[in-house]
Structure 1
Amino acid sequence: MTERRQRDLEHLPLVQRERLSHIDFKLYFLGELRRADVVERFETGPAGATRDIAQYREIAPENLELDPATKVYRPTPAFTPLFEHSPQRVLTALSQGFGEGIGNQLQPMVRCEFPNALSLPKMSVLAPITRAINRGKAISLGYTSIESGKTQREIVPLALVDIGIRWHVRAFDRRSQQFRDFVFTRMANPTVLEDSPISKEETVEHDVQWSRIIELELIPHPEHPRPEVVRMDYDMPDGVLKVKVRAANAGYMLRRWTVDCSPDHSLRGLEYALWLPDPLALYGASNASLAPGYKDPRSDGPNRTIKAL
């Protein structure tokens, strides 16, 4: 974006920048824009939509042209996006819409397919947890774990985590006096404890595993038949992909990404496109043993297993 464009946008109100961003999105990713697109998305009148399109044309006149036959604006060959669009947000919008629809009605913008989630929390369980996170409150709930069976717990929820196959909440467990991960589908009757004060030891600032950021350097798997394809898939022209993860989530993420973490890159299969050459990067991560093939380089014995909650 040129400096002039940046200055022009900075002087506009936030709500108008949002409308111009939507115009930019429609042109860039769908190749067409109608005045009704702005009217329907922002519930503004036709005159307001016309003003927004005129404002966009004033800032980026080379980006769009009107097809007089269809009254549709289309991007020109010289189009360059006026806004920076996050890939994840774009893909979410294209596959699920911009919040259009009510309840379970999803309205994708283009034909697409994405896997159904096999494990999702009940809204009656999720809502008290998110209220507690937002307000800094504790929760009382029943919880069934593999290790302890069904117990009654008090936890202080800190953050939601998506590990690809399920969602869980990072929380301080008053029963064990530790920060742990609690799976939503194993919870029963969570209730916000309005009159239970939170001590500083129960806050996210004291969760060392959550606060610690680990930088991982991943490379194409040495046994992959086409390492150049791996470099293309992961946009790693220099052959190294650097990612940062929280220590509390490192094992989950490496498993989700199917990264071979064995010291001798011994895992086989095209699903193992990446290898972690330095297992010491996971030093101190509480769930490192969840990473595929990981062996603690400081121990000659078997890995310490992570107790499932």
Structure 2
Amino acid sequence: MANTTEIRHWFIELHAWWEGQINSTMLCQQFELSRQAASSALKTYREDINPNSLTYDAHSKAYRPSDTMSPRIISGDVAEYLHWVSEHRIPASLSPGFESLKPPERSVSPQVMRAMVQAQREQRRLEVDYVSLTNPNDEGRIIVPHTFVNAGVRWHLRAWCEKSQQYRDFVLSRFRGTPELLDASPNGKDQDTAWNTPLELVFAPDPRLNDAQKAVLMNDYQMNNGTLAVATRAALAQYLIQEMQVSVKVLDGTPEAQQLVLVNKQEVRGWLFGD
């Protein structure tokens, strides 16, 4: 992980490059720095890290990117900037307006979570109760957790399940009771075939769209030869397809709503739910 000084320099470059200005006040607000410490960080960036990258604008009392500035720390990818502003609470004076949809958090028991983290770290069996929509009554399970997965609207746990004798996904908010840590297990991440199988999902504009509409989507996703190839794990393929809002079973009656289709469904269908 980057140290505090590196994070400050990253912040300086991020704001200068994307928002066109940076000054000591912004650093003071973001990092709760003294004016002297903020000025020192700016000076180090301007003189040592990226010389001639910033010029001072007396009117706005801020440094602006020079015509020859090139990023040295940030990636220059728009996604990096959008991710940062969506994940951080930024003082209104620092950034233009942004808003992100935040689905309601699902409740996860702290005692369950702590036990899962320990079981995952030590590759141990964990006895815990679990409920589901098909079986809403508490049901004891012995699992061996290996990875917590953010699947967009919810978190789940990838784990070996002794009851089903296979690796499965468990919704974190559906664990109940007081878990009990048991002994070590040989069924860890390395034995999870679906997790360790790389998969490529290939998407393309819905063929029912006209050429102009297809061109819009190809530009949106920066497609190559009319397709978008996304690398993932076999265990995560279904979740990625859902995040892309692509149906693999029934085409939406309106192609403008469907937008994308999965081109290589036959190749990957064995890894999809219900196939």
TM-score of the two chains, using structure 2 as the length reference: 0.83
Give the residue type in structure 2 aligned to 1:198: A
Q: Say whether the 8 Å CA contact 1:95–1:108 is kept in structure 2.
A: no
The aligned residue for residue 152 of structure 2 is 164
Q: Say whether the 8 Å CA contact 1:63–1:79 is kept in structure 2.
A: yes
Q: Say whether the 8 Å CA contact 1:121–1:167 is kept in structure 2.
A: no
Q: Say whether the 8 Å CA contact 2:251–2:258 is kept in structure 1.
A: no
Q: Say whether the 8 Å CA contact 2:27–2:33 is kept in structure 1.
A: yes
How has the CA–CA distance of structure 1 residues 258 and 56 changed in structure 2, closer, same or farther, with 3 Å as cutoff?
same
Alpha-carbon separation, structure 2, partners of 1:107 and 1:273: 38
Matches within 5 A, 1:176-255: 176-191=164-179, 193=181, 196-200=182-186, 202-225=187-210, 226-255=213-242
Gaps of 5+ in 1: 1-12, 290-303, 305-309
The aligned residue for residue 68 of structure 2 is 78
Moved over 6 A (4+): none
How has the CA–CA distance of structure 1 residues 271 and 160 changed in structure 2, closer, same or farther, with 3 Å as cutoff?
farther
Alpha-carbon separation, structure 1, partners of 2:17 and 2:106: 33
Give the superposition deviation at 1:273: 1.7
Match of 1:165, SS?
A: coil
Gaps of 5+ in 2: none
Alignment of 1:18 with 2:7, yes or no, is yes
TM-score of the two chains, using structure 1 as the length reference: 0.75
Match of 2:169, SS?
A: strand
The aligned residue for residue 37 of structure 1 is 26
Alpha-carbon separation, structure 2, partners of 1:271 and 1:141: 41
Alpha-carbon separation, structure 2, partners of 1:266 and 1:70: 53
Q: Say whether the 8 Å CA contact 2:125–2:185 is kept in structure 1.
A: no
How has the CA–CA distance of structure 1 residues 260 and 146 changed in structure 2, closer, same or farther, with 3 Å as cutoff?
closer
Alpha-carbon separation, structure 1, partners of 2:94 and 2:174: 31
Sequence identity of aligned pairs in percent?
25
Q: Give deviations 1:22-81, integer Å, cap 9, x for gaps.
A: 110121223221213334544554444333222221243332111224432122343332
Alpha-carbon separation, structure 2, partners of 1:111 and 1:135: 44
Most deviating of 131-140 and 248-257? 131-140
Alpha-carbon separation, structure 1, partners of 2:107 and 2:84: 22
Q: Say whether the 8 Å CA contact 2:123–2:185 is kept in structure 1.
A: no
Match of 2:145, SS?
A: strand
Give the residue type in structure 1 aligned to 2:18: F
How has the CA–CA distance of structure 1 residues 259 and 209 changed in structure 2, closer, same or farther, with 3 Å as cutoff?
same
How has the CA–CA distance of structure 1 residues 237 and 214 changed in structure 2, closer, same or farther, with 3 Å as cutoff?
closer
Alignment of 1:67 with 2:57, yes or no, is yes
CA RMSD of aligned residues (A): 2.9
